[in-house]
Chains A and B, each alone.
Chain A
Amino acid sequence: MKGRAAILAGALLCWAAASYSAASYRSPFPAPSELRAPAGGAGGDMLALALGARRVFADLWFVRLMQYYGTREVKEVSQAPGHEGHVHGVDEHGHHHCDHGKDYGKGSYPLFLPMARHILDMDPQFTAAGLYGAACLAFNMERGEEAEELLRHGLRYSPKEWKYLSVLAAVGYSKAENPAAVAETIAPLLKEPDCPVMLKQLAAFLNKKAGNYAAAAAIYADIAATSRDEFYVKNARRELEKFSGGGYTGGQ
């Protein structure tokens, strides 16, 4: 009987010791009260927490964001002779697209910011998603305020993340219509592994417009070598062919 009592006491003591030693642990993730339920409901978030799988669900949200937005904005050169008076296409999701010309990728994507923000809620360390979302909002959709909101949201949980600060500065320069400063500000980001390809694409385009063809070619070569997005890779290869085929006469 004494032996049994000692075993039970030992069990309780071990559990108490374990709980006590774990008591100082604080989750690096945002508190549950800070998770804004997405449009589809909070079921996915609950499952993410229950499975201890915030990163996986952040990945899934990122895939959904990419599917929501798509990658049809890459073409820099219009296939149609001029685009004044063109009619914007409407895709199967009911989104308006401008597939060509200077307004490419604009469209209307009302859920883009909430979806992008939700990715960072699930995994604040998913810097690539934050940069992608901010770059799309600022430089494709010309929604600079939303881009800044997303970056500031990311900085809440990663206050030392210099890449967010760089893109924040670039957004500011973009609003001030200073493309050279935008290119210069985002230049340090380009070699980072989590730099979204569309930021590289933007940097190449801005360099090309400013006549810095060598820098533009280097960036296109990097995109062709490292990206897995076939649209960006094809575009980069197309641009490199133009560079090697006699150089550029001017940006378009």
Chain B
Amino acid sequence: MTGTLRLLLAVALNSFLESVRSRFFTMFAVFAFTAVYASVLAGVMAVDQEARLLTDFGLLLTELTALAYLLFGASTALLKEAETKTIYLVFSRPVPRWAYLAGKICGSLLTAALMLAAMAVIHLSVLAFRGFGLPPGYAWVLAGTFLKLAVIVSFAYFVSLFSTSAVSTLVISSIMWTLGHFASEARFLAEKAEGFKGALLGFFLHLIPNLQLFNARDAAGAAGALPASVLLPAAGWTLASYLGGLWLLSRKEF
């Protein structure tokens, strides 16, 4: 293994361990556990559609919990390291900035994978407790959620490198996540609009990642596999945010 790759892995592992050791991780775990079990109440109200409602609620809560925790982490990671001067100990060493940023993002994605896996276990245990089996396409839904998180978390790291506070990073990233779900609807409106308005709306649409692509949770029938073609936009948006962040980090002073 090359030295630089080892550096990247060291940063990723450190970032991951800091994430899961954080007391907020425990809080989110408790929240996820409670919320998924609370959805049992909603499921009972749906009577014969209980399986569907339990599945849908559980998957939504899983995604929102992971999103909240990861965005919080991404918004504060670099800022915290700068404030505590930990970053001095990193960049006074021969650590390439590209490896550092890649390591941070990889650490967050490792955390995302762990959170999704843990919450899936909780969710499936609730479904089993209520007598329901594995919902169709479950793994694809989790895969889609993971891709969505990858796109938005790397975007959050990019924003954190130019925003003035963790709160503004969190807000901007959350807005982007929301806009990402409206992208398909906005595209429809852009195609209907004529002239300059349509062109302008179409241009702005290209600035927003279409997160509906990865939304297997909501897909038609919610049992469809994610087509392999979604990997390209996921990789593209994630890499673009990473490179944008690197562009900012490369001449950032501490």
Contact = CB atoms under 8 A, between A and B. Distances in A.
Direct contact of A and B (CB under 8 A): yes
Given A67-B45, A229-B48, A49 B185 contact: yes
A175 interface: no
19 contacts: A4-B250, A7-B247, A11-B241, A11-B247, A13-B240, A14-B243, A17-B236, A22-B233, A29-B184, A51-B64, A53-B56, A56-B56, A56-B60, A59-B46, A59-B49, A63-B53, A67-B45, A71-B47, A229-B47
A25 B213 contact: yes
Nearest to A197: B48
A21 to B, nearest CB: 5
B71 interface: no
**Contact residues of A: prevailing secondary structure:** helix
B172 interface: no
What's the interface size class on A, roughly?
Answer: 35 or more
**Nearest 3 pairs between A and B by C-beta?**
A18-B236, A11-B243, A27-B184
B56 to A, nearest CB: 5
A227 B184 CA distance: 37
A26 B181 CA distance: 12
Contacts of B218: 29, 52-55, 123
A128 interface: yes
Contact of A15 (B178, B184, B211, B236): B236
Contacts, number: 143
Given A11-B240, A14-B239, A53-B60, A59 B53 contact: yes
Contacts of A31: 185, 188
A58 to B, nearest CB: 8
Contact of A52 (B47, B189, B212): B212
A25 B212 contact: yes
A55 B218 CA distance: 6
B25 interface: no
B243 A63 contact: no
A18 B232 contact: yes
B137 interface: no
B243 A22 contact: no
A16 interface: yes
Nearest to B251: A4
B101 to A, nearest CB: 11
Interface residues of B, number: 53
B220 interface: yes
B70 to A, nearest CB: 16
Given A11-B244, A55-B222, 19 more contacts: A4-B247, A7-B246, A8-B243, A11-B239, A12-B240, A18-B240, A25-B212, A49-B185, A50-B178, A52-B181, A52-B212, A54-B218, A59-B53, A62-B49, A62-B53, A63-B53, A125-B221, A227-B47, A228-B47
Contacts of B232: 17-18, 21
Interface string A3-46: 11001101111111111011001111101110000000000000
Given A7-B247, A55-B56, A228-B47, A21 B184 contact: no
B23 interface: no
Contacts of A33: 188, 192
A66 B52 CA distance: 15
B42 interface: yes
B123 interface: no
A196 interface: yes
A4 B244 CA distance: 10
A15 B203 CA distance: 13
Interface in B192-212: 192, 205-206, 209-212
B207 to A, nearest CB: 8
Contact of B185 (A22, A25, A32, A53): A32
Contacts of B104: none
Contacts of A56: 56-57, 60
B240 A62 contact: no
B217 A55 contact: yes
Given A7-B246, A56-B56, A18 B46 contact: no
Nearest to A17: B236
A27 B46 CA distance: 27
A49 B46 contact: no
A48 to B, nearest CB: 9
A8 B64 contact: no
A19 B206 contact: yes
B237 interface: yes
